[in-house]
Structure formats: C-alpha cells, structure tokens
Amino acid sequence: MGKDRHSLDCSRLKLFAAPAHNVLAGHQAKPQTPSAWFAAKFPAHTRFGSAFLEAEYETAAGLTRLTALSINEDFFAAILGGNERLKHKVVFLVPERQFLFLDLRRGVFSATTEDQLKVLLSQLLLGCAAEMPPCVDLHNLFLTFRDDKVLSRIVRRAKAMLAVKESFFDNCPYPRERDHEDLALLFTRTTLTRASTGILTIHDCHESFTVFCKGRGIAPMGRKAFVMLMKGIIKEQFNRTVRNDLIPVPGSKQKSGWKGITQADVEREPLTAEVEMEKTKATEKAEP
C-alpha cells in the first residue's frame, strides 16, 4: 500500500465480528469484508482469530474504503488442515517430514507437497478478492499475501499446528498410502546426505532401499526401475547425476553411482513378519 494512496487511521482497525443473521431470508448476509468471507468458508477455524486485521480509510474524494492490513498466519495454517464438515483433512507426519491429505475417492492418506498447499492458499485469497464489494481494497489480497515468503511462513506454521506421529494411523479408519516413489523420497530425505568425498554406488543404494522397503512391509523395486526413479529424485534433491567412473575403494573396478553423496545407516523400523522369516531362514542356512 503506497503512502500516496491513503493514510490509515489506527482508531478504525477492525477484527472479524459475526454478521447479524437475516431471519427473514433464512441466511446470513453476503460477506462484505475479507475476514467475513473466510469466516463463512471456515467457521470452525474462527477460534484461531480473525483471518485479517482490517482497517478503514478515506480516499481524497471522501469515500470510505476497507483494506486487509495484516494476515493472521495462525488462522491460515489451521485452514490447511481441512474442512471437517466436508471430511477434508491434511496432517503433517513428523517422523517423515511429509504433509498428507485424505483422498476420499480412494479412502487413503496420500502425500502432498508444500508447493501444492501454497497454491491452495493462493487460490483461496484470489477467490476472496473476486467476491469483495467495490469498497474493499484488493491490493494485499491479490499481491502482498500471495507472495511466496508469506505463503512459506504459513506452511511452516502448519507443520506445528497439524503435526501427528505415526501412531495417528493406529486408530484412523483411513490407512497411509505407500508407493515406491513416496518411499524413495523418504529414503532420500532420511538416509542420504551431502559429503564432499562421498561416493554412493547404485548397487549400495539399491541394497539399502530394499531393506528400507521391507522394513515397511513393501515389496522392493527391481534395479532398473529403481535407477530410473532415483536419477530424478537425486537430481532434484542434490543436483547430482549418475557417473560411471566411480572407484569406491582404491584399486577396485569403476562403478556407477553418485559422487558427493553418502548414506547413513538405513532407518530400521520394527521388522515385519515377512522380513523376520527371511532373517530366520538366512540364519538357519548359515548354521553348521
């Protein structure tokens, strides 16, 4: 908001107040302010406060206008959690540092990205701006609050407000969807790290990912499909491409893999019955 456009009177700052109910029409009046618009869309979330701090001001022509002066990041982080009336739900699974949304069509929680959540917030702000009366200044709704820095702060706050542990799914009627791409991303985030002298061969990476999958009750991937998947993920996460001239141990043959990356011990969850059985068989074969 430029200073040459208007000056604000701090005595005219406003927070949302529920509009009077129109008994004759049987419905509430159409929202006339940004905060009222969001309160109508997400009534249960008004416990986190007004969506905006709003201010009235007068133009040079003597007209009274209203602007959304400051955004309530708590409110917007909370609405990312979904609308319970519509059975929409989003959670942040802390152990995996991953947002999940409830896909009602398939009855599972699926992974979603921070960028997708930012788009959702951006579209809500645009929808609000489109339905405001002429007296409302759209500058902050359309530009300021849709800036990536603002949206990123809201998403970061949502991680704390929507945080759940793995035990969340113990009593949840909807299971967590697992697929190889999802697990490969988790594997990359939790076990791989940058190291200037590190060497990660395709063979070692595939072996570790196989253990990673089995520990979660998921069938491992074939090597060829795994390489195709990990090429894209490692390029995106570490900006590294596959090399065919790696020598992991002095004097050894050249191998394919990634340079500048190393892996920690594979995160091991309690083994599934299948893995336990395989482990027992291997032990029995090794015994004299």
Token digits of residue 158 = 């949502």
Long-range pairs for 92-98 at CB < 8 Å and ≥24 separation? 92/158, 92/159, 92/162, 92/163, 92/164, 93/164, 93/165, 93/166, 93/168, 93/176, 94/163, 94/164, 94/165, 95/165, 95/166, 96/186, 96/189, 96/190, 97/189, 98/185, 98/186
Q: Per residue of the chain (288 residues), what is the pLDDT tens digit?
A: 344 445 555 556 666 555 444 444 445 678 999 999 999 999 999 999 999 999 998 888 888 899 999 999 999 999 999 887 778 899 999 987 889 999 888 888 888 889 999 999 999 999 999 999 999 999 999 999 999 999 999 999 999 999 999 889 888 888 877 778 888 988 998 899 999 889 999 999 999 999 988 887 788 888 999 999 999 999 999 999 999 999 988 888 999 999 999 997 644 443 333 444 444 444 444 444
Domains, the chain, with CATH or none: 10-169 (no CATH), 180-278 (1.10.10.10)
